[in-house]
């Protein structure tokens, strides 16, 4: 495996506990520095695929993340390298204050207190949320929640940023500012979304998933330009 | 939707608000303990305690009406338990009435016990309201943690506090959706709908629990909640503790008569 490969997945299949098909024979490799969109209709398996990237869901397939095999003893290291931002910020922000949430990851990694508060300040600065440390996340707007949710993983200095529907339920302005925020973050990105605007602006490569397997994988322009393909998978704009 | 119905006034700025949560966490049970231990009928002491708590509430700048309204919550519970005491306690009858073969009488001793229970629970309630409305939930939990409360309790309370609002939002949204579809019909239909709503709420909460846990795992959670020390005692804490101790102990010694 070459060092510039961030993610290598070989023949990943996954069925939900209730027997429903989740993923079937998914092969995917992502290079460092690449920005990959995973698009597909609702229920295609996008979120399920993402949850495999840091071992929340496990299966017998070979998965390598940042040069580490997906094994129990590597989980901690992998979760440090993979910053996963969940779809609903209410799930991600479970602490009583913004500070506690952003500090949660670094504290789990056992960093000293000074280092932790430094990391929190830097992470909140990157998403433009300095000064919100003491606020309770319940009283933030949805756009602010999304930003804080991103900060909670940036505080771990991830090598890979994984975002599930980052622009879901945001208004156009909130969406615009979130996209420029993500553009400015220099990490490898994997973004699951069916927001084709966002995909077009942020990602050079697009992977289309439907019914648990990869239907297309290529340059974003080519895939988003292929109306017939999008229509066949329920993604056409009109 | 925004609401903070538990620690609504905890962001005010007053002497009481600025105290270390641990000081308050210790002073409040001490006050309650003393009030509860005070012998029945010692009105002088009760009035004194009321003055103490009233002054503290005034200093804390909490709206008086809000405190009074909140403190009334306790009465239905106390009354339900204690209302029959005057009828059963043996002693000098104040009032009696005969229904057929039964003689109902209210005794002086019984009324004394009832009044005693009411005033003690009201004073305790006032001090608890003062504690919970003058301390932010996060600080309160931090204080409890440092006073040795098991971490798992702290964790449970903090999650409860965090997700209570979301749950309340969900209930409000579900009832709005229900009412928008002309909710009505027979009583049994209404109950069935209510049952479905409760079930849905349970499943949603359960699934949210799973997602929150996944989000925790994703940031390296390993079953151990990370601790951070942010509290420190300041000199006002020492003054407050000293004054409270003198205020509570001296009158108790002077006026304690069983």
Nearest-by-Cβ selection for B228 from A76, A107, A138: A107
Q: Count the Cβ atoms, other than its own, within 10 Å of residue B18.
A: 12
* Residue A161 in contact with partner chain B when CB distance is under 8 A: no
A104 contacts B219? CB cut-off 8 A = yes
Whole-model pTM over 0.90: no
Q: Write down the residue that tokens 């602490």 correspond to.
A: A95
The answer to whether the Cβ–Cβ distance between B4 and A97 falls below 8 Å is: no
Q: Does A132 touch chain B (CB under 8 A)?
A: no
Phi/psi at A218 (5° precision) = 180, -165
* Closest Cβ–Cβ partner in B2, B137, B211 for A96: B137
A96/B4 CB distance under 8 A: no
What does the pLDDT read at residue B1? 43
Residues of A in contact with B208 (CB under 8 A): 90-91
Cβ contact (<8 Å) for B215 and A91? yes
Distance from the B90 Cα atom to the nearest Cα atom in chain A, whole angstroms: 52
Q: Which of A97, A113, A152 sits opposite B219 (nearest CB)?
A: A152
pLDDT for A204? 92
Q: Work out the mean pLDDT of chain A and round it to a whole number.
A: 88
Contacts of A153 in chain B (CB under 8 A): 218-219
Segment A184-219, tens digit of pLDDT: 888 899 999 888 889 999 999 999 999 889 999 999
Chain B residues lying within 8 Å of A80, measured CB to CB? 220
Distances (CA, A) of A47 to A21, B13, B25: 13, 45, 44
pLDDT above 80: residue B228: no
A39/A165 Cα distance (integer angstroms)? 10
pLDDT attached to residue B120: 92
ipTM exceeding 0.90, yes/no: no
Q: Look at residue A38 in the predicted model and tell me its pLDDT.
A: 94
Interface of B with A (CB under 8 A): 2, 4, 137-138, 141, 158-159, 161-163, 165-166, 208, 211-212, 214-222, 226-229
Give pLDDT tens digits for B31-56.
999 999 888 888 888 999 999 999 99
Please give, rounded to a whole number of angstroms, the shortest distance from the CA of A219 to a CA of chain B: 29
CA atoms within 13 A on the CB side of B211: 20
Write out the two tokens for A68: 């580490």
Q: How many CB atoms lie within 10 A of CB B221?
A: 18
Mean pLDDT rounded to a whole number for chain B: 83
The answer to whether A96 contacts chain B (CB < 8 Å) is yes
Q: What is the pLDDT of residues B51-97, one digit of tens each?
A: 999 999 999 988 999 899 888 888 888 888 888 877 777 777 777 77
Residue B216 to residue A138, Cβ atoms within 8 A = no
CA distances from B44 to B25, B74, B192 (A): 26, 23, 55
Burial A19-48 (b: 16+ CB within 10 A, else e): eeebbeebebbbeeebbbbbbbeeebbbbb
Domain regions of chain B by residue span: 15-145+232-255, 149-218
Count of CA atoms in the C-beta half-sphere (13 A) of A129? 32
Q: What is the mean pLDDT of residues B218-231?
A: 73
Residue-range domain boundaries for chain A: 5-232
Work out how many CB contacts closer than 8 A connect A with B: 79
Does the A5-232 domain belong in CATH 3.30.420.40?
no
């Amino acid at each position: 495996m070459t060092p510039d490969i961030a993610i290598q997945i070989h023949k990943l299949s996954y069925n939900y506990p209730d027997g429903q098909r989740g993923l079937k024979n998914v092969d995917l490799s992502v290079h460092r520095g690449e920005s990959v969109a995973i698009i597909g209709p609702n229920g295609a398996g996008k979120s399920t695929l993402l949850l495999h990237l840091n071992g929340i869901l496990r299966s017998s397939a070979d998965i390598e993340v940042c040069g580490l095999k997906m094994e129990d003893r590597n989980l901690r290291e992998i979760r440090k390298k993979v910053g996963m931002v969940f779809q609903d910020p209410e799930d991600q922000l479970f602490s009583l204050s913004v500070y506690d949430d952003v500090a949660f990851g670094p504290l789990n990694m056992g960093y000293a207190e000074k280092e932790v508060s430094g990391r929190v300040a830097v992470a909140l600065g990157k998403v433009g949320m300095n000064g919100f440390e003491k606020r309770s996340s319940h009283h933030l707007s949805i756009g602010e929640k999304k930003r804080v949710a991103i900060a909670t993983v940036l505080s771990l200095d991830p090598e890979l940023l994984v975002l599930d529907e980052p622009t879901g339920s945001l208004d156009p302005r909130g969406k615009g500012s979130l996209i420029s925020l993500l553009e400015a973050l220099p990490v490898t990105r994997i973004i699951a979304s069916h927001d084709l605007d966002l995909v077009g602006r942020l990602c050079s490569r697009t992977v289309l998933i439907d019914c648990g397997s990869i239907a297309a994988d290529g340059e974003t322009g080519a895939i988003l330009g292929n109306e017939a393909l999008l229509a066949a998978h329920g993604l056409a704009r009109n | 939707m925004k609401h903070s119905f538990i620690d609504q006034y905890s962001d005010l700025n007053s002497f009481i608000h600025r105290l270390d949560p641990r000081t308050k966490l210790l002073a409040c049970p001490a006050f309650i303990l003393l009030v509860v231990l005070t012998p029945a009928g010692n009105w002088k002491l009760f009035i004194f305690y009321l003055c103490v708590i009233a002054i503290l509430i005034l200093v804390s700048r909490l709206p008086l009406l809000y405190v009074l309204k909140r403190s009334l919550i306790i009465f239905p519970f106390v009354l339900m338990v204690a209302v029959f005491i005057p009828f059963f306690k043996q002693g000098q009858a104040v009032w009696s009435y005969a229904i057929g073969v039964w003689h109902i009488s209210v005794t002086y001793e019984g009324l004394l016990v009832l009044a005693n229970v009411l005033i003690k629970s009201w004073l305790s309630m006032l001090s608890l309201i003062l504690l919970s409305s003058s301390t932010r939930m996060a600080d309160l939990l931090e204080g409890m943690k440092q006073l040795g409360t098991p971490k798992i309790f702290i964790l449970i309370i903090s999650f409860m506090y965090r997700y209570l609002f979301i749950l309340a939002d969900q209930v409000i949204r579900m009832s709005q959706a229900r009412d928008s579809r002309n909710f009505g019909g027979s009583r049994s239909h209404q109950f069935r709908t209510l049952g479905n709503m409760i079930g849905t709420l349970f499943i949603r909460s359960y699934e949210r629990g799973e997602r929150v846990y996944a989000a925790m795992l994703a940031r390296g959670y390993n079953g151990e909640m990370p601790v951070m020390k942010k509290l420190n005692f300041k000199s006002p804490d020492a003054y407050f503790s000293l004054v409270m101790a003198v205020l509570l102990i001296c009158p108790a010694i002077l006026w304690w008569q069983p």
